Amino acid sequence: MQNFLQVQGLRKAFPGTGGGAELVVFDDVNFTIDRGEFVCIIGHSGCGKTTILNVLAGLEAPTDGHSFIDGREISGPSLDRGVVFQSHALMPWMTVRGNIAFAVRSKWPDWSRSKVDSHVQQFIDMVHLTGSEDKKPSQLSGGMKQRVGIARAFAIQPKMLLLDEPFGALDALTRGNIQDELVTIVRGTQQTVFMITHDVDEAILLSDKIFLMSNGPRAVLAEIVTNPLPKDRTRATMHHDPKFYELRNHLIDFLVHRSKSYASTSSVQ
């Protein structure tokens, strides 16, 4: 389905402190995401990526503009959207199974205990945490905690997954492994994803489209880049494709040079 997510004229301004001028973080941001598309958004710190994600999550209201998912305006948080933050927001007193089951019961309160249990198990297995069901977050590594967050987000079968630098706090090896798992899961489930990352290679591996934000304040969505690499690319092989370097250089040139020079009148390319 085309235009599954629609964002129109989004603007966010925060009031100035001590009588100062207001801070316009971004202005006139417009984009659409099709069902099943994986979009990464990249831009320098402070351009408003998290604020956009929070608006899509329904956690923050825009100053102007509207966003719609599956034809309905986003006006607050909903189990339609699964969110994973950099710091896995797990409930420390609950086990792996308990954390995921809590979300599943919130979405489907009428489900029997056995139905909840088997549904939860499916997602624990999916992120390779089989055997750790009864562990509490304090007994898990950072990578395992992040896997629980991902399993929980997928388990509610959201219309859209919103990921805010979900691997930002992980070491390179763990990060690579979880990226590979995410690729497999997303290709299998056809999940629609909006993800923030600072990692250009991660964006190239995961996304169908890459949104490039200019620097803030008054950031704009400067470019939408379609990933030309084959769908079945892997972390191990994608750098053998000459298009990989072309795309990588394009993204890095944007971040180093072009991201500074956009005025809010710039148009999307």
Ligand X SMILES: Nc1ncnc2c1ncn2[C@@H]1O[C@H](COP(=O)(O)OP(=O)(O)OP(=O)(O)O)[C@@H](O)[C@H]1O
Q: In Å, how far are 28, 158, 249, 253 from 200, measured between CA atoms?
A: 25, 26, 10, 11
Query: Which residues, numbered 205-244, are part of the site for ligand X (CB under 6 A)?
Result: 216
Based on the shown chain and the rule CB under 6 A, indicate whether residue 50 belongs to the binding site for ligand X: yes
DSSP one-letter string for 138-205: GGS-HHHHHHHHHHHHHHT--SEEEEESTTTTS-HHHHHHHHHHHHHHHHHHT--EEEE-S-HHHHHH
Residue 183 CB, shortest distance to ligand X, in Å, is: 23
Question: Measured from the CB atom, is 45 or 269 closer to ligand X?
Answer: 45
Q: What distance in Å separates the CA atoms of residue 2 and residue 124, rounded to the nearest whole number?
A: 31
Span from 46-54, 126-134, 143-151, 170-178 in contact with ligand X (CB under 6 A):
46-54
Residue 99 makes contact with ligand X by CB under 6 A? no
- φ, ψ (nearest 5 deg) of residue 192: -85, 130
Task: Return the residue of 48, 58, 158, 166 that touches ligand X, per CB under 6 A.
Answer: 48
The region of 41-49, 75-83, 122-130, 254-262 touching ligand X under the rule CB under 6 A is: 41-49
Beta bridge partners of 5: 33, 69
Residue number, 48 or 137, with CB nearest to ligand X? 48
Binding flag, residue 51, ligand X (CB under 6 A): yes
Q: Nearest to residue 120, comparing CAs of 148, 160, 92, 81? A: 148
Number of chain residues interacting with ligand X (CB under 6 A): 12
Contact between 49 and ligand X per CB under 6 A:
yes
Footprint of ligand X on this chain (CB under 6 A)? 14, 23, 25, 43, 45-51, 216
